[in-house]
Chains A and B, each alone.
Chain A
Amino acid sequence: MKLNAKQIENAVIISIEGDLDAKNGPELAQFFKDQMEDNKNFIADFSKVEFISSAGLRVLLGTVKEARRQGGDLRLAATQKNVDKVLTISGFTRIIKIYKKLDEAIKSFSE
């Protein structure tokens, strides 16, 4: 899994490349934790994520709770079809704001 952080306007874009499961979930959790020292608004760019397991979802849930506790948020962008299916059945579409395009997610933090 490859992770990259980039500050844009009011949020940090976290680009994720690869699958998200129990094996690499802790790495993503730590990455978010490190970024939270200076930021509270995050966009996870899912355009290069083909698969997410429940352990990966748990990392997102932990991050969104912490970001909101700090008055910020974690939003998802550009999710793929397979990931969308998992987000839907797991009830996450009601918990996390999800945008079809990265631009829309960036704009949402300016509204």
Chain B
Amino acid sequence: MKTHQTKEEIKRPKVAVVLGSGGIKAMASIGLFAFIEEANIDVDLLIGCSGGSIFAGVWAAGHTAQQMRDFTDTLWTRKLFSKIDYRSLLSIAGLPFGRFSINDGLIKPDVIQKTYRQMVGDIKLEDLPTRLLVQTTDVLSGEPVLLSSGLLWEAIYASGSLYPLMPPIEINGRLLMDGVFSSPLPVMEAINENMDVIIAMSFEEVTTQISKGFVQTLMRNIDYSHKWLLRNQNAISIDLHHYEIIFINVVFDRVVGLRSIHRIPEIRKIGDDAVQEKKEEILAAIENFR
């Protein structure tokens, strides 16, 4: 039976979901989307940065949490990050035939870009069923750039292109790279969009494990820097916001590399557990909104 709802009864908060950077660790966000679907929460805005932009993007394109699980099982392979650009590699050591320009990276981007395109097709940001903003950084100025239009797969690639490990991409005349360098968890961007309830998920390694090799060490140091950038931005966001921000910080006690494919089930489980702890808080924030 349909019931008549008054204006007062249907008043609900504007809800944003913000997914931060974290590479493969961002797969832990699938559990959040499963909960959003199960609890029937209306999401007004998604914002994704780097690894987080993949899952925000795929969900915004209309895929379910279950479909995202299937994608990660089938499309996320070690091949994604295995195609080395040997000219760039040689250039690090200053060896003959080495070459590195502003458009290059250590990893060739074609397999990664093809995979993102397989996941979301050629849909544009402005045509998505759920509104999505994608956090990137301008290579030349270092300024944050928030994408709201253009091809989704290009935006996802730009947001996660950890330059100079991966080449940047030109979008709308600007050379763009990973959003982690300017806004690893774009909560302030959700505040700017006048959202009421902001669910912000971040991914963090808390470990004293010694990094293995050059790339893992570099990644660890980038991780340290982004962790503190994120916390400083979170404090400012809390001060500026008018209602509730629910932080879900997914903590990993071991290093999770870009090619830790064998750990996908574990990553998703850790994410599910982190979401479980916050379900009540999310629902209460939505319910108590006036």
Contact = CB atoms under 8 A, between A and B. Distances in A.
- What is the interface residue range for chain B against chain A? 10 to 19
B244 A55 contact: yes
B244 A85 contact: no
Contacts of A89: 202, 231, 234, 247, 249
B113 to A, nearest CB: 33
A22 B243 contact: yes
B281 interface: yes
A91 B243 contact: no
Given A22-B244, A85-B249, A91-B232, A58 B239 contact: yes
A83 interface: no
Interface string A84-99: 0110111110110000
A23 B238 CA distance: 16
B235 A54 contact: no
Contacts of B245: 54
A90 B244 contact: no
B1 interface: no
Interface in B18-74: none
A93 B77 CA distance: 39
A77 B249 CA distance: 23
B247 A58 contact: no
A55 B235 contact: no
A57 interface: yes
Contacts of A53: 244, 246, 281, 285
A90 B231 contact: yes
B209 interface: no
Nearest to B248: A89
B287 to A, nearest CB: 10
Interface in A3-35: 21-23
B3 interface: no
Interface in B218-266: 231-235, 238-239, 241, 243-247, 249
Contacts, number: 53
A49 interface: no
Contacts of B247: 54, 86, 89-90
Interface in B81-114: none
Contact of B243 (A51, A55, A85, A88): A55
A58 B246 CA distance: 13
B235 A58 contact: no
A36 interface: no
Interface string A62-102: 00000000000000000000000110111110110000000
A95 B244 contact: no
Contacts of A88: 231, 249
A21 B235 contact: no
Given A86-B247, A89-B231, A57 B238 contact: yes
A108 to B, nearest CB: 21
B16 to A, nearest CB: 13
Contacts of B231: 88-91, 94
26 contacts: A21-B244, A22-B244, A22-B285, A22-B288, A51-B281, A53-B244, A53-B285, A54-B241, A54-B245, A54-B246, A55-B243, A58-B241, A61-B239, A88-B231, A89-B202, A89-B231, A89-B234, A89-B249, A90-B238, A90-B247, A91-B231, A91-B233, A91-B234, A91-B235, A92-B235, A94-B232
Interface of B: 202, 231-235, 238-239, 241, 243-247, 249, 281, 284-285, 288
Given A89-B202, A89-B231, 9 more contacts: A22-B285, A53-B246, A54-B246, A55-B244, A86-B247, A89-B249, A90-B235, A94-B231, A94-B232
